[in-house]
Structure formats: C-alpha cells, structure tokens
Amino acid sequence: MRRKHGLHFGHKKKKVNVPIVKEVISWIVEIVIILVIAFVFVYYIGLRTSVVGQSMSPTLENRQEILVNRFIYSITDPKPNDIVVFLPNGNEKSHYYVKRIIGVPGDKVIIKDGAVYVNGELFEEEAETAAILDAELAEEEIVLAEDEYFVLGDNRNNSEDSRYANIGNVKKEYIIGKAWFIVSPYQDFGFLD
C-alpha cells in the first residue's frame, strides 16, 4: 500500500486553543485602553510644576508642586478667582507663573486705596489678602481686551503680576491651565479650593 502524502511520523495537526487566543487579545485591548487613559490623564490633567517664590502665599508656598488641568480651558473660559498657570508673554524659556484671575475679557480693573475694583465694584476675594501698597499700571483703569486676563498673586505686596509692564495682561493663549491639586510636600497634599 502506497502513502499519498509522503512520510508520516505520527505528527498531528495542532489545533489553535481559541479560549487562550481570546484571553490574550482581551489583555492586549485592556492594556491599550489603560495606556490611552494614562496618556490623556498625564497630558491634559497631570502637568506637574513647582511654585516659584512667595507671590501666592498663603494659598501656595514656594517649591510646592502642583498639578495643572490643561483640559479645562478648552471647554470653558477662566473665571475670576481661578488660580492659573501661564507663561509670561508666551515666553517658553520662562518658568511657569502661578497667579489668581481677577479680571476677565471686557472687565475694567483699577486699584484704589489698596483695594481691587472690577467694573466699579470691590472685587470679592476668595483668599485673604493685604491692602495693596503699589498699584503700578492698575492705578489707572485697565480695560481688558477680548482675550486678556488680569492676574494678581495672593501675596499682593510681593508679587510680579499684571500690575507690572513685564507681565501685563495675560492672553488666553499663554494660559497653560488651572492649578487644581497640590502633590508636594505631603502634608499639603490635596485639592486647591
């Protein structure tokens, strides 16, 4: 009797184990989903930066590390009392500045007798601040353009902010995002109000 297919040494054709293949594919899909979520979280919400100087004291202190939500201002605009992170004049070689929004586009801001007035009314502070000793540019009324924000540090007499020509009004395109969480030092760990 002649064999039709050559020599045969008892090899059987291997069957694919379908449940194991399904399990492997399931794991791969889950890993890809987790990586995408992690990337989105880190890129849009997890930018980490350090506070430089005492300009936001007592809300934020020098060398505290904070997380910045970069996504929030793509769906909404910054609001008064938001703590924002920005690059002064868009200078990418500068460190990030962290300040509080006082005036939004269209607002009129002036500092009189040590107090901040927006659109003729005393600004409602969410942080405890001292009377401002030097109004600088805000001694005269400042009218904010369509894409400009007026920012101040909470430590009003030790802050380089919109009162000074080298910072001035902050354009929306220079705002990186909203400061929302303190990550370091550990004893200050938590959300910003």
Active site residues: 55, 99
From residue 153, give the alpha-carbon distance in Å to each of 8, 35, 111, 135. Answer: 84, 37, 14, 13
E strand segments, 64-174 = 65-69, 83-86, 97-103, 108-112, 115-118, 121-122, 142-143, 148-152, 170-171
Helix or strand holding residue 20 (H, E): helix 18-40
Using alpha carbons, select from 106, 101, 67 the residue that is nearest to residue 84: 101
Q: 83 — phi, psi (to 5°)?
A: -95, 120
